[in-house]
Amino acid sequence: MSQHYYQLCCRYNGKVVRINDRHGRVHVGRICRVTQSTVFIEPVIQRGGYGFGFGYGYGYGYGAPYGLGLGLITGIALGGLLFW
């Protein structure tokens, strides 16, 4: 089964995804790297601001990447529709 998730993660590399793990946690972020045993994602963080212009306003950014073992994944979905 982890081979299936490895192939999915490789296909979704660079895209925002939603990953469910065996502990019931949901991870939302952009896949930045995939190895045979681990997928690394940069979590999506919501930014708030004080107006419009450079460095201000509302939107989304990415946090520091972290690894998630492919054996822990129970589901993965492309995240393009998660924010609309």
User: 54-77 burial by CB neighbour count: b if 16+ within 10 A, else e?
Assistant: eeeeeeeeeeeeeebebebbeebe
State the Cα–Cα distance between residues 31 and 28, nearest whole angstrom: 9
pLDDT at 84: 43
pTM here is 0.79
- pLDDT mean by block of 10 residues, the chain; 84 residues: 90 94 94 96 76 53 92 87 50
